[in-house]
Amino acid sequence: MTVAPVDSSPVVAGAVELGLPVLGSLSPSRAGDFMTCPLLFRFRTIDRLPQAPSSAATRGTVVHAVLERLFDLPAPERTPAAATALLRPEWERLLEAEPQVGTLFADEVELSTWLTSAEELLQGYFTLEDPTRLQPAEREAYVEVVLPGGLRLRGIVDRLDVAPSGDVRVVDYKTGRAPREAFEGKALFQMKFYALVLWRTRGTIPRLLQLMYLGDREILRYSPDESDLLAVERKLVALWQAIEKATQLRDFRPRRSKLCDWCDHQALCPEFGGTPPPFPAAVPGPDELLPHQVEAALRAAAQQQAAGASSAPGPAAVPRAPIQAPPGPAGFRADSPTVDV
């Protein structure tokens, strides 16, 4: 039986015609799933099995939302107290959108304890940089590119900073702890993925990739070059070829590791005595966005339309928030933020 792709993705207003046939699609998280465990990739991407909410993942979602909205405030008002004040409203916003997260807490005491743990992560952020000296070029930026072979790469970047020199810094917030040195390469894979997409779409290799670990208040930085990104591109193409083969053979094998302890699908995994569900007759098409990608794509389209309405006719530009640059050094330093101008 032929596995027929099904494309049920919404039409995104203002979407850009990429001009290449899309034969497959990968995000950093889905690529990471397949490298971690092919069966996990199948459960999440093909079967689309539901996942129970967790307090850690939900805390990460809320902290990310607070840090995004923090930059909506005037620079002098971006204080630890302001970030704390945003916590409960962002929790309530998430609860309204995803009512199932309300089952995580038995009562207000448990919720308050959890909010306090999120506040501690936000306090950690303020020890790593001063947001009053920053004006990000983009936040929660949806980025995508189709490679010549038809593989679409897409993802959501927490923050893009652009220096007066034009240098680009890609920033990602992590609410966990920094990895040991031996595992830094795995942690940087996501950032190199973003750097590759930005290079292929904007023609510039980001000067700095920055992972900010709020759990232990550490920063992991890396400056990629062309050879780095070409290697990532080759790896992603090979990865997609392996996914295509597994789909054709309907053979996504489990790969046991310590991460299995946190997997929602042990009951269906042969490694734990389970049996996977029957393989679907139709798999999601490459253009079918996941829910969080739909939201980000719609936001990006709205930003594009707003930028187009406020500028003279001409080629579409990358959306940038107009800002006033305060006095300060140009370019990136390892210990200082930069300003977009």
> Which of the residue ranges 75-79, 187-191, 300-304 would you say has the lowest mean pLDDT?
300-304
More confident residue, 166 or 319: 166
* Cα distance between residue 274 and residue 281, in whole Å: 21
The 10s digit of each residue's pLDDT in 82-100 is 999 999 999 999 999 999 9
* The two three-digit tokens of residue 51, written as one number: 């996942």
Share of the chain above pLDDT 70, in %: 77
Region of poorest pLDDT, from 31-35, 118-122, 193-197, 299-303 = 299-303
- Joined together, the tokens standing for residue 55 give 């307090």
Sequence-distant (≥ 6) Cβ neighbours of residue 259 within 8 angstroms = 36, 37
pTM: 0.79
Contacts of 11 (CB under 8 A, 6+ apart): none
- Domains along the chain with CATH numbers: 20-49+137-275 (3.90.320.10), 55-133 (no CATH)
CA gyration radius for the chain?
Answer: 21
Tokens 């591109």 — which residue?
233
